[in-house]
């Protein structure tokens, strides 16, 4: 296990903001986990788990220990005529994993191509894109419980996965370190191109028989055209969640804003597009100092170079306030603010 003191996290978060951790611990194998229950480690609280830092915003230095998960490895743990059960350790790159499964012809992850980050963070906010969420392909999650020092297996139900949330982002965020996940992948995959942007892509780029490789390539092309490359422009992807409102509230808003996108969630509630709401308030493409709202997608806040985490947070707060004023909707941050 590697330990670093007073460590600058700038290269470890995709916003590229300056912040120091009092201590950084890098977990590289399962034996390292025992150090996390060591009494000297507990004196160093608070603790924050991290993967590739693509969904965090540091607004100040961190006064405790950052635990960086670098547990590598993957193996097929079960297989039948239809499915492959693939166990993947938490430090693996999600995008590499998707490419690997698509390359083997195992379906399930292709719509989630090119989402940055580690495998271990995927269940934390139940990552999703283009009509598929992790919960659709997840079999179980292994965690290390800091309180007991034991590895435990969580069923999908125990993970309490929801829209960009789970037990690992809420009640369990201080003590459950995700160490590996098991995915149930399809050996005879059916493609899912129900999402509007994907349907449009294949209308413009027709293919005789669409494969999961085609879907993966389509998702990558769409994402590259809409989202900033984190190695060029600092961001954490979507900064806010899409708000879900009652049918009554959606109806009231639609009568005032007939062009507003609203998706029926099937339980008398509607999901609204946070990006659209932000754009209507005039934020899209606006720059304030080194912070700004991405010109191609209003849901994405960016760091043009030397913005501090506090400046990005303050910008997000002004956006929250103006959306609240215009639509009476309180946007919730998807990004974990530390």
Ligand X SMILES: Cc1cc2nc3c(=O)[nH]c(=O)nc-3n(C[C@H](O)[C@H](O)[C@H](O)COP(=O)(O)OP(=O)(O)OC[C@H]3O[C@@H](n4cnc5c(N)ncnc54)[C@H](O)[C@@H]3O)c2cc1C
Q: How far is the CB of 27 from ligand X (least distance, A)?
A: 9
Active-site residue among 92, 110, 142, 334?
A: 334
Give the tokens for residue 221. Answer: 């092309």
Q: Is 49 in the site for ligand X (CB under 6 A)?
A: yes
Q: Are strands 138-145 and 62-69 parallel, antiparallel or unpaired?
A: unpaired
Q: By C-beta, is 250 or 335 nearer to ligand X?
A: 335
Q: Interface with ligand X by CB under 6 A: which range of 152-160, 196-204, 235-243, 254-262?
A: 235-243
Q: How far is the CB of 81 from ligand X (least distance, A)?
A: 31
- For residues 128 and 166, give the distance between their C-alpha atoms in angstroms, rounded to a whole number: 13
Contacts 24+ apart (CB under 8 A), 202-208: none
Active site residue 334: yes
Residue 243: DSSP 8-state: P
Restricting to residues 98-117, which ones interact with ligand X according to CB under 6 A?
115-117
Q: Is 230 in the site for ligand X (CB under 6 A)?
A: yes
**For residue 46, how many other CB atoms are within 10 A of its CB?**
12
Q: Which of 19, 21, 97, 122 binds ligand X (CB under 6 A)?
A: 122
Active site residue 209: no
The H or E element that residue 253 is part of is: helix 247-256
Q: How far is the CB of 252 from ligand X (least distance, A)?
A: 29
Q: How far is the CB of 274 from ligand X (least distance, A)?
A: 13
Q: Interface with ligand X by CB under 6 A: which range of 127-135, 152-160, 181-189, 315-323?
A: 127-135
Q: Is 127 in the site for ligand X (CB under 6 A)?
A: yes
Count residues binding ligand X (CB under 6 A): 34
Restricting to residues 249-288, which ones interact with ligand X according to CB under 6 A?
none
Scanning the structure block, which residue is given the tokens 């990005």?
Answer: 312
- For residues 201 and 191, give the distance between their C-alpha atoms in angstroms, rounded to a whole number: 14
Active site residue 20: no
Q: Which of 7, 41, 58, 168 binds ligand X (CB under 6 A)?
A: 168
Active-site residue among 92, 164, 180, 216?
A: 164
Q: Interface with ligand X by CB under 6 A: which range of 45-53, 190-198, 280-288, 321-329?
A: 45-53
**For residue 266, how many other CB atoms are within 10 A of its CB?**
6
Give the tokens for residue 197. Answer: 């942007």
Q: By C-beta, is 41 or 49 nearer to ligand X?
A: 49
Contact (Cβ atoms closer than 8 angstroms) between residue 309 and residue 59 = yes
Q: How far is the CB of 101 from ligand X (least distance, A)?
A: 16
- For residues 8 and 35, give the distance between their C-alpha atoms in angstroms, rounded to a whole number: 22
Q: Is 297 in the site for ligand X (CB under 6 A)?
A: no
Q: Is 88 in the site for ligand X (CB under 6 A)?
A: no
Q: How many degrees, rounded to 5, is the angle at CA 94 between CA 38 and CA 186?
A: 115
Give the tokens for residue 232. Answer: 């060029």
- For residues 151 and 142, give the distance between their C-alpha atoms in angstroms, rounded to a whole number: 7
Residues in a beta bridge with 263: 271
Give the tokens for residue 131. Answer: 């009509």
Q: Which of 10, 20, 22, 48 binds ligand X (CB under 6 A)?
A: 48
Give the tokens for residue 126. Answer: 């139940």
Residue 269: DSSP 8-state: E
Binding site for ligand X (CB under 6 A): 14, 48-56, 69, 90, 115-118, 120-122, 124-125, 127-129, 168-169, 177-178, 227, 230, 235-237, 336
Catalytic residues: 164, 238, 334
């Amino acid at each position: 296990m590697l330990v670093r003191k007073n460590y600058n996290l700038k290269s470890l978060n995709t916003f590229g903001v300056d912040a120091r951790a009092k201590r950084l611990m890098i977990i590289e194998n399962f034996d390292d986990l025992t150090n996390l229950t060591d009494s000297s480690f507990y004196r160093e609280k608070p603790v924050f788990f991290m993967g590739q830092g693509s969904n965090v915003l540091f607004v100040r230095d961190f006064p405790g220990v950052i635990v960086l998960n670098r547990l590598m490895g993957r193996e097929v743990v079960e297989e039948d005529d239809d499915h492959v059960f693939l166990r993947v350790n938490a430090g693996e790159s999600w995008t590499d994993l998707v490419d690997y499964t698509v390359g083997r012809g195992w379906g399930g992850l292709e719509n989630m191509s090119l989402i940055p980050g580690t495998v271990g963070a995927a269940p934390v906010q139940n990552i999703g894109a283009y009509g598929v969420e992790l919960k659709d392909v997840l079999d179980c999650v292994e965690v290390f419980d800091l309180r007991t020092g034991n590895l435990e297996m969580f069923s999908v139900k125990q993970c309490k996965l929801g829209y960009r949330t789970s037990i690992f982002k809420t009640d369990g965020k201080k003590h459950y370190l995700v160490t590996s996940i098991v995915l149930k992948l399809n050996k005879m995959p059916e493609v899912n191109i129900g999402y509007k942007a994907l349907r449009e892509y294949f209308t413009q780029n027709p293919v005789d028989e669409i494969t999961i490789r085609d879907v993966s390539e389509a998702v990558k092309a769409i994402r590259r055209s809409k989202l900033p490359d984190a190695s060029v422009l600092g961001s954490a992807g979507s900064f806010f969640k899409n708000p879900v409102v009652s049918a009554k509230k959606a109806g009231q808003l639609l009568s005032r804003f007939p062009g507003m996108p609203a998706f029926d969630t099937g339980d008398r509630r509607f999901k609204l597009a946070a990006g659209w709401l932000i754009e209507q308030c005039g934020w899209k493409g606006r720059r304030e100092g080194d912070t700004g709202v991405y010109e191609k997608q209003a849901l994405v806040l960016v760091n043009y170079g030397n913005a501090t985490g506090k400046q990005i947070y303050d910008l997000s707060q002004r956006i929250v306030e103006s959306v609240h004023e215009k639509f009476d909707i309180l946007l919730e941050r998807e990004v974990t603010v530390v």
